[in-house]
Structure 1
């Protein structure tokens, strides 16, 4: 085929794409630019920039980034088929932009041999089109893995641990990291080690579903974290043990020591800190500024002591504005009018639901205090949140 014919065929393809988007003059100029090199010779393939911008309506920012890596498509029909298939499967343009931006050469993949089989694997697990699109766009590396060497083996490991395809699908909705990780080197040895420590599978499952990336850490980190939790006095039989392991595993040694020092600076003794960690390990992942503010607010009431806080460490995780301020103001009113002799315990104050607190400490005194006064306290607390 002559160079002139090849040039005309390529230009005809882009003329159809550009029709209706630009004036005839601008389209002709654009097509001439994309169909010839600077010396007037035909170029192989077509421009990624024009293909994504005009054919598939990608944003100019994404198109520019992709085109800086991959300038031309050797097989635009196949690339078009890939994007069209994913759109039909349920992917939005924004999700497709994430996938293509992650690795532009994805546009050169083989639809029937590579893309479709992977999508079908997740469909067979019972995931909906929206769930598949969300999972893959959040972790585009999935589409670059081998179905036989990576994806299927990982899913088999998960099924062996969780028991069914339904549970595997449920887990993948929470985190796609299990698909792209080498589970035989991370999750499998971590689960086996925790089981060997006498931790029931139901507690290990709590980690799998609620803190999925924890079990994908290097096995040595998990072993060291178990050892540290025991060193801190957390009983393996305690339900808090697995939470303690997770918190320790999430920090470097330096970060852990800084956290401990921060609690010391708030006036807690070593025994106080250890007692709180045993009861509420997750508190140690919280903001120290918030913990300090809550501690100061509770102590300022004159009704709550440090020992009360140590016995109820999760009280430091509650909101001053939404939880404490409205409730403590109401208790002050009740006490000032001799409607209650003593304040309830800190445990009661922060653990009661709004409904339970109302029935116990508000409902019985509406006539004496006045609904307007009670409402003002509640609204003031919510308003300042």
Structure 2
């Protein structure tokens, strides 16, 4: 079946970007199939009907319609897609992903959908992007009413497209009235604006299409870890607990206590200030705790009050910056003590300006050593004994 898929995609990829030449290879393919009559199994040949049924999910009547009766409708579909702006290379994966699009009526389905989407303000390029991502949704006229709701909610087509790319295409199938809208209303009641909801969905694409009772349970879980509705950390906390069981969250809280030597109060405070810590892997947390305690010499309470330290990359920020400061102190180039947290929180540009650039003459290798450390290596100058 994979070989069959490859063969039909290869045929489609032979299209040119213009509509007239683009349809001729499939026209010839389907015409040949029609001339030959019903196709019998032939492992040595290419059976369009068998491919559409066995690999792509069409029923036998649908496959017959697309392969053995007439190439007129598939040709019309391909010409229409070319008119929207899809090249032959674009059409191939669309048909491979959703071959039933070849059976869609241009005048009754595809053209009205394009007209409806254009009426919502989408450009031809936008529509082409939508087809590439969700060809199955495109051939259903309900997509227009769904986008009419989603576009104002997410603020722009680009935001919606980003969500679809991250696995949110199920929103095009979800029940608006029974699932999506109730979830949006509830999240608004929790203090989230539409911009917050859009950002939440980027990180948790299935949030709006989930059973409303489950969404309420997730909010209750957020409140259970001490983050109230309407607070600045509510969205981040909701994202952190999304689709995690209470047992899993409780186990992660216990692991945090053990790994960072925190009391119940300290772990609660750390989670409230940085809910994203609940999504960190155990290996990542252990690696950070060893570095902060053994190398930097931080106290448990120091980290608990500043849990944002756990959000930064060890290789890209925490370790390289610590080594730079340690090197400067060891060589008498740092005139006063600098708090570790304040150094880590600086933007990359400010850090370089403050701690790298002023020492070009005294330590000409410092910039190179810093860049090397950011790549995960430890240069000789940063190997302290």
TM-score range, shorter chain: 0.7 to 0.9
Matched, 1:174 2:174: no
Aligned-partner Cα distance in 2 for 1:82–1:38: 23
Q: Which residue in the other structure is 1:58 paired with?
A: none
Q: Which residue in the other structure is 2:295 paired with?
A: 301
Work out whether residues 62 and 97 of structure 1, in 8 Å CA contact, stay in contact via their aligned partners in 2: no
1:104 Cα deviation from its structure 2 partner = 2.8
1:299 Cα deviation from its structure 2 partner = 2.0
1:209 Cα deviation from its structure 2 partner = 5.9
Query: Which of 97, 105, 108 in structure 2 is aligned with 1:110?
Result: 105
Matched, 1:214 2:240: no
Matched, 1:382 2:370: no
Q: Which residue in the other structure is 1:35 paired with?
A: 36
Q: Which residue in the other structure is 1:260 paired with?
A: 253
1:234 Cα deviation from its structure 2 partner = 1.0
Higher relative contact order (CA 8 A, sep 6+): 2
Aligned CA distance change for structure 1 residues 128 and 288 (closer, same or farther; 3 Å): farther
Work out whether residues 222 and 234 of structure 2, in 8 Å CA contact, stay in contact via their aligned partners in 1: yes
Q: Which residue in the other structure is 1:233 paired with?
A: 226
1:193 Cα deviation from its structure 2 partner = 1.7
Q: Which residue in the other structure is 1:370 paired with?
A: 363
Work out whether residues 90 and 133 of structure 1, in 8 Å CA contact, stay in contact via their aligned partners in 2: yes
Aligned-partner Cα distance in 1 for 2:39–2:323: 78
Q: Which runs of 5+ in 2 are unaligned?
A: 1-23, 378-385
Aligned CA distance change for structure 1 residues 357 and 221 (closer, same or farther; 3 Å): same
Q: Which residue in the other structure is 1:353 paired with?
A: 347
1:107 Cα deviation from its structure 2 partner = 1.7
CA shift digits 1:161-218 (9 cap, x unpaired):
46xxxx3524332234343322222231122223333445553454356644322222
- 3-state DSSP of counterpart to 1:344: coil
Query: Which of 78, 85, 90 in structure 2 is aligned with 1:90?
Result: 85
Matched, 1:154 2:154: no
Q: Which residue in the other structure is 2:117 paired with?
A: 122
Work out whether residues 155 and 168 of structure 1, in 8 Å CA contact, stay in contact via their aligned partners in 2: no
Aligned-partner Cα distance in 2 for 1:121–1:203: 28
RMSD: 3.6
Aligned CA distance change for structure 1 residues 67 and 168 (closer, same or farther; 3 Å): closer
Aligned CA distance change for structure 1 residues 211 and 32 (closer, same or farther; 3 Å): closer
Tell which deviates more after alignment, 73-82 or 251-260.
251-260
Aligned-partner Cα distance in 2 for 1:140–1:276: 44
